[in-house]
Structure 1
Amino acid sequence: MDSVQIVNKLTEKGVKFTTGLTHKEIDEIEVLYNIQFPPDLKEFLTFALPISDGFVNWIDKSKENIESITDRLNWPLEGIVFDIEHNEFWMKDWGKKPSSLKDAVNIATMYYNKAPKLIPLYSHRYIPSTPFEKGNPIMSVHQSDIIYYGENLFSYFLVEFNFKDYDHIDFENIKRISFWGDIINLWDDGEE
């Protein structure tokens, strides 16, 4: 499925679009937010920019919108920190959990900063920026409760917007993403 088909399907579901971003606008956005759109997201956003509620308004350069996008970019770390403080969350790979909250947050932040950056798409759905290739999975992120919500960008839209011809996620073929996949596996394995 390509961008034309997805935009047509999403339009049927009431999603509103405006003209896609130019390559210059994409470059400016990536610099402003210190992100890199993966190729399939970049292709989609240059074709058409979704502007309905819940979607990121990448073109709006108002102070309020820049703050909103920055908040959404920081939200995954804030959720992990919240769960460390309030819900005993800790990854075994991080070593023994320090008794000091400050030390625990510093360790988690160090690992988070090495992880692929998550780029917000819609609501609390994110796509990892790396690997820098097509087909990265979409994740639903709510604190450390992170699950796959699509094996790639286009299948995600079909699942998110309830298309009857596509109502499943092919979990067997989801690309593994470092750090984020470990958190997902933590919950899948019933560990913590």
Structure 2
Amino acid sequence: MSSSIITNALHTLEQAGVRLDSGMSDAELDAVQEKFGFRFCRDHRELLATAVPVGERWHDWRRDDEQSLRGALAWPIESALFDVDTNDFWAPPWGERPADLAERLAVARRKLEAAPTLVPLYAHRYMPAGSTNPGSPVFSVYQTDVIYYGFDLENYVAREFANSPAHGQTQEWVPFWSDLAEGTWDNLGEDDE
């Protein structure tokens, strides 16, 4: 049975003309998780089990080729590394910033890989992997420009597909990604050499 978050999100998608295919079976969802090494958060899994949004920019775990899905999974880390390399980004919790670029990139990669996995939903919108609680946020991720694009899946769909404003606040803190979204570091993006 769908939660109200999923029911309302699907209603908004239908009203927006998004094509919805039949939901994925537990076996299909489990196979995706096994193949790609993550667990869908509760809301993302429930959405896909109820109906699969398809079309341009949707990540279709049933039909998209493995390479494109792996690329979308890698995007948050690879695009953040671009900012480390090109735009002098360094997250304060990572400790002292190495002077050598190769070492800096290696440290940043280790730290980013230790952060919770973000799972692609639509274009560069992501949900955190693994949460079993309802109400996981949806992030817009473009390099280290990370914002909440929805405080939960229902709010995200209303914002993206019905031009509703963001409202409320997320119930779930996602290490590293929420810090970026909320700008909680004193010197976010500054060069600390």
Match of 1:152 in 2: 152
CA contact (8 A) 2:79 2:142 kept: yes
Q: What is the number of equivalent residue pairs in this alignment? A: 186
Match of 1:179 in 2: 176
Match of 1:77 in 2: 77
TM-score of the pair, normalised by structure 1: 0.89
Q: % of aligned pairs identical?
A: 30
TM-score of the pair, normalised by structure 2: 0.89
User: For structure 1, which segment, 79-88 or 103-112, has the greater mean C-alpha deviation from structure 2 after superposition?
Assistant: 103-112
Task: Find out whether 1:26 has 2:42 as its counterpart.
Answer: no
Q: Residue 93 of structure 2 aligns to which amino acid in structure 1?
A: D
Match of 1:101 in 2: 101
CA contact (8 A) 1:118 1:128 kept: yes
CA contact (8 A) 2:77 2:113 kept: no
Q: Residue 36 of structure 2 aligns to which amino acid in structure 1?
A: Y
CA distance in 2, matches of 1:154, 1:188: 28
Match of 1:132 in 2: 132
Q: Residue 149 of structure 2 aligns to which amino acid in structure 1?
A: Y
Calculate the aligned-residue CA RMSD, in Å: 1.8
- What runs of 5+ residues in structure 2 fail to find an aligned partner? none
CA distance in 2, matches of 1:169, 1:90: 30
CA contact (8 A) 2:8 2:154 kept: no
Q: Residue 167 of structure 1 aligns to which amino acid in structure 2?
A: P
SS of structure 2 residue aligned to 1:50: strand
SS of structure 2 residue aligned to 1:161: helix
CA distance in 1, matches of 2:122, 2:58: 4
Q: CA deviation at 1:123?
A: 0.6
Whose RCO is larger (CA < 8 A, sep 6+)? 2
Distance 1:147 1:188, change over 3 A: farther
SS of structure 2 residue aligned to 1:133: coil
